[in-house]
Chains A and B, each alone.
Chain A
Amino acid sequence: MSEITYLEAIREALFEEMARDENVFCLGEDIGAYGGAFKVTDGLMAKYGEERVIDTPISEAAIIGAAAGAAHMGMRPVCEMQFIDFISTGYDMLTNYVATARYRAMLPCPMVVRGPSGGYVRGGPFHSQNPEAAFLHTPGLKIVYPATASDAKGLMKSAIRDEDCVLYFEHKYLYRRIKETMPAGDHLTPIGKARVAREGRDVSVITYAATVWKALEAAEQVEKEDGLSVEVIDLRTLLPMDDEAIIATVKKTNRVLIVHEDTRTGGVAGEITARINETAFEWLDAPVLRVTAADVPLPYSPPLEDYVLPQTSDIVLALRKLAAY
């Protein structure tokens, strides 16, 4: 088996799931004939036809709303947001209609909303966003955000098979930068389960998506330079959050750094910190620290973007501070 990229892993999952279940179909802007802005859906229309790979008008609310309606009827729609930044125009449909449907009306919405997310790509304020925290606050949705190619595939397949709506964030910085050989067979990554990306004893980094790789780089560096043993937890799923994995690493290292690329205030890190505080306060030897983006819209110019987003050096600094506390 040869290695494939993170992007190809997502595509492979779509091909496999569409072959496995005729109820699976894709809809989104420019996903069919063109194959999508990043070519994630390239070749899907040629294989499965216009009926199952639908080029839609520029209408995120209609894409998400129509997916919900089709899902009620037993279909398994996979919606593409051309950039995840545009999911905000479908926010009402997702949070008010889709997320509440099972609870208020006993009407399941088994559907996936996926899209290229994240920065480090000079995309500016509207092609770089990480809007996961806007949805973390909505009961009824699930959120996954893979960091590896095999999880990209396994989580997509699990998301399509899940009985509820899964928001699938895919990091465009990782699309073509990482490669991996896919596990053999019907590879599923469980939703709701974090992964230990690196075992360690002294300090824990809890993170997800592209910053998993920055955390791993920082861990290497402080191991070499400071002799620190750093554990890196890749959450993979943000909702429902894997409390067990979070608490396990707190109890193991007693020092926790939370890293994410999204802005700071009201972000995922704040939620994780609160959970640790409520359930494992006595296990901490230091305050929980956060390395996140600054609270600004993400700017375009490289010196600006690099200043705003978390870098490996920021994580190194934070790890040293925690170790010395």
Chain B
Amino acid sequence: MARSGGAAPSAAKTRGDAGRVPGLSREQKVELYYYMRLTRSLEERLVNLYRQTKVVGGLFRSLGQEADAVGSAYALDRSKGDILSPLIRNLGSMLVQGARPDEIIRQYMAKGDSPTRGRELNIHYGDLVRGFIGQISHLGDMVPVMAGVTLSFKMRKQNRVGLVYVGDGATSTGAFHEGINFAAVQRCPLVVVVENNGYAYSTPLRKQTAAKQLIDKAIGYGIAGEQADGNDVVATYEATRRAVDRARAGGGVTLVELMTYRRKGHAEHDNQSYVPSGEIDRWAGENDPVDRYVERLMSDGFQESELSAVDKRVTDEIDAATDAAEASPMPEPTDALVGIYADPPAERPLWFREGVKSAVEVHERPSSWGTHDV
């Protein structure tokens, strides 16, 4: 049972307690499949673009984690103005909130008309209107920020909820602790989703924490906890939905731990030499979230044609998005000086750049990121 307050001796958690969450309609079930398939296929397209050296920086995959990102974000209510802040493996959550494939591809390709005008990488961008706030690379920092976003909901008596993702690694940061504690004390309408995928870069969970499970941390903060199988999109949705409903009802913060597995490396360059042999294949073979959900839909009486229609739609959308992104211009170099402040609106060029439109003729691109050991 879900629980508030810090009196009970054991971990606060619920498992498979689906009764209190409204059931998903047939359309919603298909929509969940659409977002999971879109996440996976879009990342596959990005891999192609990366190998063609069209992606300028690193590429981050959420292979095997699509269900936890999609299912949890699906528990929010966009019509009420709910806001989430994703992490690097939560592309799916952004798509649920309305992020578009062409924006993602433009971001990765560092285009001038990408949402950040080429200033930030990959999925580091946001849109308050659609309800997502871009992360920064300093893990855990979005927890205090989302504490503040949801504090504003509370102060203005708005019926809105916020959700922030952290990985298992970020639970070790000071910002995570300060943010979740602050939000707990203020009873902010905030859901903190810990996406436990077993690894932070190369560091396994046992080197990250001595806690038996991350949901146990909820007790120390005096907040509710939920734990779910993150590779089961419906279970993820239901656990997060309970947390969202609790937050909206004034019940404060919930720590949701979603159990999943990171099948790719930290980023595309990472050869995963630290992973025990067989581990990845086992998860891929036995616990793929998309395969599992397709099986479930089939046993629920969905037709293969319904799903292949979704697949076709996804492919078409990604093709169109790729074409649009490839046709996009790179940024004008001097745009680098615009918008650091509202006032002044732009920095003056340095004296040696006066009248200079571009610093170099050829923009070098490093062959790969990080360890270069692919």
Partner of B339 from the list A25, A57, A64, A102 (CB cut-off 8 Å) is A102
Of residues B128, B147, B181, which shows the largest number of chain A Cβ atoms within 10 Å of its Cβ? Answer: B147
Can you sample 17 A-B contacts with CB below 8 Å?
A57-B181, A59-B181, A61-B141, A62-B179, A62-B182, A65-B178, A66-B182, A69-B151, A70-B148, A70-B152, A71-B148, A77-B148, A104-B119, A104-B120, A106-B339, A164-B343, A240-B344
Partner of A97 from the list B116, B136, B149, B155 (CB cut-off 8 Å) is B136
B60 at interface, CB cutoff 8 A = no
- Interface residue SS majority, chain A: helix
**What's the minimum C-beta distance from A113 to chain B, rounded to whole angstroms?**
13
Chain A residues with CB under 8 Å of B347's CB are 139
A59 to B143, CA, bound (A): 13
A75 at interface, CB cutoff 8 A = yes
B20 at interface, CB cutoff 8 A = no
**What's the minimum C-beta distance from B354 to chain A, rounded to whole angstroms?**
13
CB–CB B138/A69 < 8 A: no
Chain B residues with CB under 8 Å of A70's CB are 148-149, 151-152, 155
A74 to B153, CA, bound (A): 11
Chain B residues with CB under 8 Å of A139's CB are 340, 347
A92 at interface, CB cutoff 8 A = yes
CB–CB A66/B155 < 8 A: no
CB–CB A100/B136 < 8 A: yes
Partner of A69 from the list B125, B134, B148, B351 (CB cut-off 8 Å) is B148
CB–CB B144/A69 < 8 A: yes
Given A75-B152, A107-B128, A97 and B145 contact (CB-CB distance below 8 Å): yes
Interface size on B, residues (CB 8 A): 42
B114-130, CB under 8 A of A: which get 1 and which 0?
Answer: 00100110001110100
**What's the minimum C-beta distance from A215 to chain B, rounded to whole angstroms?**
28
A108 at interface, CB cutoff 8 A = yes
CB–CB B134/A105 < 8 A: yes
Given A104-B124, A163-B342, A164-B341, A66 and B138 contact (CB-CB distance below 8 Å): no
A25 to B291, CA, bound (A): 50
Of residues A64, A77, A92, which shows the largest number of chain B Cβ atoms within 10 Å of its Cβ? Answer: A92
Known contacts A66-B182, A74-B152; 19 additional CB pairs below 8 A are: A51-B155, A52-B155, A57-B181, A59-B181, A62-B178, A63-B182, A66-B151, A69-B145, A69-B148, A70-B152, A72-B128, A73-B149, A93-B144, A102-B340, A102-B341, A104-B120, A104-B124, A105-B133, A107-B134
Q: A56 — nearest CB in chain B belongs to which residue? A: B182
CB–CB B149/A140 < 8 A: no
A315 at interface, CB cutoff 8 A = no
B174 at interface, CB cutoff 8 A = yes
CB–CB A142/B148 < 8 A: no
**What's the minimum C-beta distance from A239 to chain B, rounded to whole angstroms?**
10
CB–CB A72/B340 < 8 A: no
